[in-house]
Amino acid sequence: MAIRVGFRLAVVIGTVLLAATSLGCPEANAIWVEEASTATSLVFRISTRRGGLDAIRPGYLQVTDCEDEPGTSRTLWMIVSEQNGDPLTRIAYGVAPSGYSTVTEARVLSSGCYTARLAGTGSVRFRVRDDGTIQ
């Protein structure tokens, strides 16, 4: 009986440890708006760190308007990586790169505040001015 209880306990502990290690930390990555981008020609740069050149394979990119209150943002464009999405260093707003699928079709960005988020730690807040330039 002691062997059976010990084996069961070992299975339970092993399962808990496997689950805990598979959750892990979010992937460290960064996203920023490419210089000279405008509301009609917006390009996001992505890498392992801001200003970096290493290509990454984010699980998704989501662009939302800024929240007035928590939980009130609207998704304006979203893409998700397919199983073998290509590693990327840049993503043009509204254009799903090879290996990515569009979940939410891109909406026109009028003047206002927006947030772009990657799966992981990367996010950037930006503002479209009345003249279409990005701040």
pTM of the model: 0.78
C-alpha to C-alpha distance for 86 and 89, rounded to whole angstroms = 10
Torsion angle of C-alpha atoms 13, 26, 86, 118, degrees rounded to 10: 150
Q: How many domains, the chain?
A: 1
Q: Give domain status of residue 104, yes or no.
A: yes
Q: Give domain status of residue 15, yes or no.
A: no
DSSP string computed for 99-120: TEEEEEPPPP--SEEEEEEESS
Averaged pLDDT, 108-127: 95
| pLDDT tens sequence across 42-98 | 999 999 999 999 999 999 999 999 977 677 789 999 999 997 778 999 999 999 999
Q: Does residue 8 register a pLDDT over 60?
A: no
Q: Give domain status of residue 33, yes or no.
A: yes
Domain housing 108: 27-128
Residue type, 32: W
Q: Give domain status of residue 22, yes or no.
A: no
Asked if residues 89 and 45 have their Cβ atoms less than 8 Å apart, the reply is yes
Query: What is the rounded end-to-end Cα distance, in angstroms, of the chain?
Result: 69
CATH code, domain with 105: 2.60.40
